Chain A
Amino acid sequence: MSVIVPTRRRRKPSSLRYYQDGPPAAVDIGTWSLTITGAAGVDRVLSFVDLEQVPSLVESRRYVCVCNWSVRELWGGYLLADVLRLAGWDGSTAGLYLKQTSIGTPEKGVYESTIPLGDAIDRRAILATRIDGEPLPLERGYPLRLLDFGLYGYKSVKGLARLEITTSFELGKWERKAGYALDGQIMPKRYRMCDLDRHEFLIRPGEVTEF
């Protein structure tokens, strides 16, 4: 799947910039790494250059914020499944979850969120490095952000440092403090489609493909 839909966004919602644990002041891409560990055979530390062993993609996907807005953008990066395979993943998903941890900052610590692994694979979750043809800005998750487009944005960690395949499905610290749902599923309600400059009522939970 790689259908490109031009975006017609006029303004970017400020909450695109919300970053509970950061953003970091800077990220040295030469020393940054993604640790992939836990169950199902994964055990690897990948540099940014290592990721280039995986086929890259560019996909038009709709992001939905729990704050009732949505935007379709061109996301560039890698399929989560491909990167996990590079780290030794045996392909199993039953009873498994994926815990994401950010780089974080000394002041605010790290941000953590866990998602069902099988659902993320089925929904073609991606590890994004680019947005609308440009490298991810720091405030949007540079150098790498996981995106599961069937879930609200707070389930997709910015500035990723670590992925752990686990049998535990638990709230991250911020999710628990703010009271957001563990599953983070996009709920039926009315959203502002910022790129389309109109509102739509989403009836079905899950990834939005009709707009």
Chain B
Amino acid sequence: MGPFRIDELPVTNARYAAFVAAGGYRTASLWTPAGWAWVAREDITKPNYWDDPVWSVPDVPVTGVSWWEALAFARWEGKTLPTEAQWELACRGTAGNTYPWGEDTPDLSMANYAPDCDPEELDRRPTPPDRYPRNVSEFGVRDLVGNFAEWCLDNYTVGYQVAGRDPLYASKEEASHVVRGGCGLHDEDYLRGTARDHYPPELRDNLIGFRCVRPIRDGALV
């Protein structure tokens, strides 16, 4: 796989606010044609939970953003979304760990998740990316699992059989896209670095956030 830089932390509400303030939702060049048509049709100008005091705390990851909003934000920062392969490498490290922290069985001191799909409180809450000191991978990437699943660039396909140096499965933009890492409503199984999930690109529920990547070619960021 080619080298890449990946965000140490998921995109927070504070970071996303700069995109909103800069007119990201009004700048067509940041969006794919399908994404621009969708955001116009649905008259969307901010994340789904932007006015909810529980989910809009500045230092927690932004949620309620569709795949299209996540990609537009990444483009605004001169980046893109990680491929499944990039996300998985960032999580599992060179040793191919089961979890970012290694092989230890998850417990509630390690990540924001729902044992047996049963959150401790029905009114669950997001957590800051540094809330769980062990939730960090070999490369220093934090909060990869739990809290919010993270959008990836790839479409979903049953089984993963994509080959090549920088594999990417792209079938149709409007089809389901992969999310990785599980969230506060998903169980420990989704914390595995290999666990795959998928949702339609329009999904804006408080299950999903994202982080960005920037490939490196010939020693320079592209």
User: Which residues from chain B sit less than 8 Å from chain A, CB to CB?
Assistant: 42, 48, 66, 114, 116-119, 122, 158, 176, 185-187, 189-190, 195-200, 202-205, 207
Are A68 and B116 neighbours in the complex by a CB distance under 8 Å? Answer: no
Report A-chain residues with C-beta under 8 Å of the C-beta of B66. 179
A189 to B196, CA, bound (A): 8
A179 to B187, CA, bound (A): 22
A69-B187, A179-B202 are known contacts. Are A189 and B117 too (CB-CB below 8 A)? no
A13-B116, A13-B118 are known contacts. Are A68 and B200 too (CB-CB below 8 A)? no
Are B195 and A187 neighbours in the complex by a CB distance under 8 Å? Answer: no
Report B-chain residues with C-beta under 8 Å of the C-beta of A10. 116
Are A188 and B202 neighbours in the complex by a CB distance under 8 Å? Answer: no
A192 CB contact (under 8 Å) in B158, B187, B198: B187
Nearest Cβ in chain B — how far from A143, in angstroms? 22
Report A-chain residues with C-beta under 8 Å of the C-beta of B196. 189-190
A67 to B197, CA, bound (A): 10
| B contact face: mostly helix, strand, loop, or mixed | loop
A179 to B49, CA, bound (A): 13
Are A189 and B197 neighbours in the complex by a CB distance under 8 Å? Answer: yes
Within 8 A of B (CB), among A32-69: 67-69
Q: Is A96 an interface residue (CB 8 A)?
A: no
Report B-chain residues with C-beta under 8 Å of the C-beta of A17. 122
A42 to B178, CA, bound (A): 43
A69-B187, A179-B200 are known contacts. Are A188 and B117 too (CB-CB below 8 A)? no
Q: Is A180 an interface residue (CB 8 A)?
A: yes
Can you spell out 20 A-B residue pairs with CB atoms less than 8 angstroms apart? A11-B116, A13-B118, A14-B114, A14-B117, A14-B118, A14-B119, A14-B122, A15-B119, A17-B122, A18-B122, A68-B117, A69-B187, A177-B204, A178-B203, A179-B66, A179-B205, A180-B200, A190-B189, A190-B195, A203-B158
Q: Is A5 an interface residue (CB 8 A)?
A: no
B117 CB contact (under 8 Å) in A15, A178, A181: A15
Nearest neighbor of A12 in chain B, beta-carbon distance: B118
Given contacts A14-B122, A194-B116, 17 further A-B contacts (CB under 8 A): A13-B118, A14-B119, A15-B185, A67-B117, A68-B117, A68-B190, A69-B117, A69-B187, A176-B42, A177-B48, A179-B48, A179-B205, A180-B203, A188-B158, A190-B197, A192-B117, A203-B158
Report B-chain residues with C-beta under 8 Å of the C-beta of A187. 176, 198
